Amino acid sequence: MKELLYLSILTIFSHQNKRILWGTFIRKMNKNNIPFWRKFLGSFFFIGKIKGGGTYTSIIAGFLFYYFLDWNSVLYSGIAVGIIILAIILSYDLKKDFSWFTLDELAGTALTFAFHTKTIPTLVIGLIVFRIFDIFKLPFIKRLERVKTGIVLDDIIAGLIANGFLWIVRYLWILR
């Protein structure tokens, strides 16, 4: 299984396919010329088109990752890294953080629950804390949005901070 994963990664990122990947995913587009498939994936199957789509995406992702927490942590990490890479590729040349682009919330939610146990309090606290850090950005996170991949980077940092917050809550909860 591990060999198959390595082989598929090497095949995707081989020199021959590099031109195809970069030509397909990363090209200059204006606001009105975003392909259907890119909006479909970037909006997490058009959930981002709904008012409050980021919150809905986070809730759905929370329940999905709640299910995945039973899996091997290496497999979960691979899924999370794959989502992050896909979000970076799809958001690479977007001029701003469009409200319909909610794949970054999916990536942040994946990082929020990484290496945690499967409990309902973890799910609820993790979702609330991630959305708080995502909506009310800390000043240094707000500055990250100016970076080329800042659309996704701010949610990744919010997910990592929420993950750390969950570890602190878990540690304090066990001590009491």
| pLDDT, averaged across the chain | 82
pLDDT class of 32 with cuts at 50, 70, 90? low
The burial class, CB within 10 Å (0-12 / 13-18 / 19+), for 155 is buried
**pLDDT of 49 strictly over 70:** yes
Is 32 part of a structural domain of the chain?
no
The CA distance from 47 to 51, in Å, is 9
pLDDT class of 176 with cuts at 50, 70, 90? very low
Residue written as token pair 């878990």? 170
Is 39 part of a structural domain of the chain?
no
**pLDDT of 52 strictly over 60:** yes
Q: What is the mean pLDDT of the segment spanning 37-42?
A: 92
Q: Which domain holds residue 107?
A: 49-175
Is 1 part of a structural domain of the chain?
no
Count of structural domains within the chain: 1
Is 108 part of a structural domain of the chain?
yes
Q: Global pTM?
A: 0.77
pLDDT class of 15 with cuts at 50, 70, 90? low
User: What percentage of residues in the chain have a pLDDT greater than 70?
Assistant: 80
The CA distance from 24 to 18, in Å, is 10
Is 25 part of a structural domain of the chain?
no
Is 37 part of a structural domain of the chain?
no
